[in-house]
Amino acid sequence: MSTVVPLLGSGQIEQLPPRAREVVEYRKSGLSLNHIQGCPPDCAYCIRHTYGLWDERQPRALMRDAEAVDQLVTHPYFQPGVTPVQLFNRATEPFLPAVKPHTFAVLEDLDERGLTNHVLVITRHQVKAEDCERLNRLHHLKVTLLFTYSGIDEERIEPYPSAVAAASLELATSVQPRRYRTILYWRPLVPGLNDTDDHLARAAGLSRHADATVFTGLFYRDQIASYYQAAGLPEPYAGTARRKIVPETLENRVLGAFTRHGRLFRKTSCAVSYVHGLADYNGHYGIRELCDICPAAQLERCRQGHRTPTAGEVAALAQAIPGTEQLRVVEVTERAAIVDGLPHEQPRYFLQHTLGFQVHDVRHPHHTRRHGRADIGWQQETSP
């Protein structure tokens, strides 16, 4: 199909920041396709700050949809039936009226190829009944709609109202029967902004309209902090971090608010796998303190699907990835494979999804009970 959003010329693409030109990028929850870039809702904490795309509010296409899908399925990291895929999760909103035709073009192209991969579509926009009907016509893909909801009322931080995502979630989940699944993506939780008892109670109530709920905190990177400072916005934390921030007291309050609701998860892949009745593709089962809130049936699925690889298996797989020939396996425990020599994060995710087992970079240790999150807001040092 022809593009619905403007198609950039090669000269215009060359002027983009290097990261913005990367159409396919591996992120923890999946291989991310982003050939449409630009988003008008302007959430102050948007990850676009870190890619040099914050000022781009008009969606634009770097290439046509068919070419983008070809780049995805021929990417060295892509494995049919194995690699989870994320669609337009970095630089635009997949259900914007102009972007939506591209979202469906990609989904239908992948589905027509008979692929059975997980596909995660993250949205805070309006999803209509006809969209649900079209999603239900997909036969092979394991599609999950993750509805971003924060309950933040401060318009300078989040101009687009959370009520839209809440209504879309209720509509999408009410469709029966359906092939896709729904998740309340409760994020970002920020102390002093959306963590009152009323905020927590509203989210807990909304979770009844989802197949599962994930809660997480704020990515507060240097670029985002600079924007907050320049815009005169109240800074949520005194420092920045490379990981999401969920203070310990906030996590405990969230868990308390959900004691009667269940189906609550700390990790996106855990929830996505659960709603499709599968073991977690990120292999979190080895990090047992992550699992203490999981439904018993899901724990059993993950237990059955969990296998600890040998150091030789990890090393051999790394040899197949360009740029990781020098990777060294430090040790393999029941929790994770610890490796050294990763050039960046993306090969780690390939290893993790291929093995179905946690892979940690020795430079960035995962501390017990912090669940791979930032140290900010945790009072005591804990061992890796």
Per-residue pLDDT tens over the stretch 266-315: 999 999 999 999 999 999 999 999 999 999 999 999 999 999 999 999 99
Question: Does residue 384 have a pLDDT over 70?
Answer: no
Residue with structure tokens 């996505």? Answer: 272
Residue with structure tokens 């807990």? Answer: 204
Question: Does residue 2 have a pLDDT over 70?
Answer: no
Residue from 384, 380, 324 nearest 358 by CA: 384
Question: Does residue 323 have a pLDDT over 70?
Answer: yes
Give bridge partners of residue 180 from the DSSP assignment. none
Are residues 341 and 327 in contact, defined by beta-carbon separation less than 8 angstroms?
Answer: yes
By 3-state DSSP, what share of the chain in percent is helix, strand and coil, each rounded to 5?
A: 35, 15, 50
Q: What is the pLDDT of residues 188-219, one digit of tens each?
A: 999 989 999 999 999 999 999 999 999 999 98
Q: Model confidence at 367, in pLDDT bands (50, 70, 90)?
A: confident
What CA–CA distance (Å, rounded) separates 12 from 5?
15
Residue with structure tokens 């999760």? Answer: 89
Residue from 246, 302, 248, 240 nearest 271 by CA: 302
In the predicted model, what is the mean pLDDT of the chain? 92
Q: What is the pLDDT of residues 70-87, one digit of tens each?
A: 999 999 999 999 999 999
> Which H or E run includes 248?
helix 248-257
Are residues 359 and 337 in contact, defined by beta-carbon separation less than 8 angstroms?
Answer: yes
What CA–CA distance (Å, rounded) separates 10 from 155?
36
Query: Count of CB atoms within 10 A of residue 104's CB?
Result: 19
Q: Where are the domains of the chain?
A: 10-303, 307-384
**Superfamily for domain range 10-303:** Aldolase class I (3.20.20.70)
**3-state DSSP call for residue 246?**
coil
Mean pLDDT to the nearest integer, 122-140 = 98
SS (H, E, C) 38-93: CCCCCCCCCHHHHHCCCCCCCCEECCCHHHHHHHHHCCCCCCCCCCCEEECCCCCC
Residue from 282, 261, 154 nearest 210 by CA: 261
Give bridge partners of residue 146 from the DSSP assignment. 122, 183
Q: What are phi and psi of 291, to 5 degrees?
A: -90, 0
Q: Model confidence at 382, in pLDDT bands (50, 70, 90)?
A: very low
Are residues 294 and 263 in contact, defined by beta-carbon separation less than 8 angstroms?
Answer: no
pLDDT at 381: 44
Q: What are phi and psi of 300, to 5 degrees?
A: -70, -40
Q: What is the pLDDT of residues 37-96, one digit of tens each?
A: 999 988 988 888 888 888 888 999 999 999 999 999 999 999 999 999 999 998 899 999
DSSP 276-289: TT---TT-GGGSGG
Are residues 331 and 365 in contact, defined by beta-carbon separation less than 8 angstroms?
Answer: no
Q: Model confidence at 322, in pLDDT bands (50, 70, 90)?
A: confident
Mean pLDDT to the nearest integer, 138-150 = 98
Strand order in the sheet with 212-215: 24-27, 30-33, 85-87, 118-123, 142-149, 181-186, 212-215, 264-265
Quick one: DSSP state of residue 291? G
Give bridge partners of residue 148 from the DSSP assignment. 185
